[in-house]
């Protein structure tokens, strides 16, 4: 993953296909003060030409124009945006590229800035979700209710994904900079990250990394080195290991 040079400007566009933009009646027994789970997903595999960012937050998701403006301020172009509402869940999916290159985002630091920017924008309009989202207090936004007391275990899995790469799955407590730190740890042991799927579900980060070593999948010994390295870094005594 590399960092691209200077950033130019262009206009952002939002396309909402009528067939996919539908409002359905909410059928739920949830209490009036129920706050849904915020989810931010960054997918590098769904589109070969763009980075796909998906945001879900029950039926309370709003401020799409502000989100697009915030992404543009990062030097990004929203080439396509799709809004869908299915029952109690509203999803917004952005296909984004870099303004300077017209290509998908590969710089892990910029991917992390995208994630944090979207979360910050969500919290700006929905501060009630900060208890369900690990980064709420990191942005100085405190929930009106009591902070959740949740003990999140760390789980690390490595498995083959063909002869040329392996799939690394990391589930752990979310925090700012987690994505960048994991990738730096991989680089320290000469493991290359080919692509990633960054999934933030409330307090938990559930990330997938497609990795290789010398153009090939990781063998069992290197997989164990990788797991041990991340286990030490994340420092969770209840870490579950499943590598092969």
Token pair, residue 26, equals 């909410």
| pLDDT on residue 174 | 85
| pLDDT on residue 91 | 79
> For the residues 41-47, what does the mean pLDDT come to?
90
pLDDT in tens, 162-186: 899 999 999 998 888 888 899 999 9
The arrangement of strands across the sheet holding 76-86 comes to 76-86, 89-98, 51-56, 39-43, 192-201, 204-212, 166-173, 155-160, 240-243
Torsion of CA 78, 85, 114, 134, to 10 degrees: 170
DSSP state of 186: H
| pLDDT on residue 29 | 52
pTM over 0.75: no
CA atoms within 13 A on the CB side of 57: 25
pLDDT in tens, 117-152: 888 777 777 676 666 665 544 444 454 444 444 567
- C-alpha span between 140 and 234 (Å, rounded): 24
Rounded percentage of the chain residues whose pLDDT exceeds 90: 32
DSSP state of 148: P
Domains in the chain (CATH in brackets) are 18-139 (3.30.1360), 155-243 (3.30.70.260)
Pairing of strands 89-98, 51-56: antiparallel
- pLDDT at 187 exceeding the cut of 80: yes
DSSP secondary structure string for all residues of 60-121 = ----HHHHHHHHHHTTEEEEEEEEEEETTEEEEEEEEEETTTSS----HHHHHHHHHHHHHH
């Amino acid at each position: 993953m590399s960092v691209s040079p200077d950033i130019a400007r262009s206009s952002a566009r939002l396309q909402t296909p009528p067939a996919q933009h539908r409002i359905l009646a909410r059928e739920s027994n949830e209490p009036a003060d129920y706050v849904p789970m915020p989810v931010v997903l960054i997918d590098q595999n769904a589109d070969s030409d763009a980075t796909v960012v998906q945001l879900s937050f029950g039926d309370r998701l709003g401020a799409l124009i502000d989100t697009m403006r915030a992404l543009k301020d990062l030097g990004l172009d929203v080439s396509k945006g799709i809004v869908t509402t299915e029952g109690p869940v509203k999803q917004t999916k952005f296909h984004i590229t870099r303004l300077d290159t017209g290509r998908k985002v590969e710089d892990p630091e910029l991917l992390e800035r995208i994630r944090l920017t979207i979360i910050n924008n969500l919290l700006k309009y929905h501060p009630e979700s900060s208890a369900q989202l690990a980064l709420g207090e990191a942005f100085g936004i405190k929930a009106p209710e009591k902070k959740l007391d949740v003990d999140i275990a760390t789980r690390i899995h490595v498995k083959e994904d063909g002869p040329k790469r392996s799939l690394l799955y990391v589930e752990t407590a979310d925090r700012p900079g987690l994505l960048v730190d994991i990738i730096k740890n991989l680089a320290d042991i000469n493991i290359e990250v080919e692509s990633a799927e960054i999934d933030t579900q409330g307090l938990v980060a559930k990330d997938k990394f497609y990795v290789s070593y010398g153009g090939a999948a990781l063998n069992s010994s290197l997989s164990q080195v990788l797991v041990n390295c991340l286990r030490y870094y994340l420092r969770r005594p209840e870490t579950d290991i499943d590598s092969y």
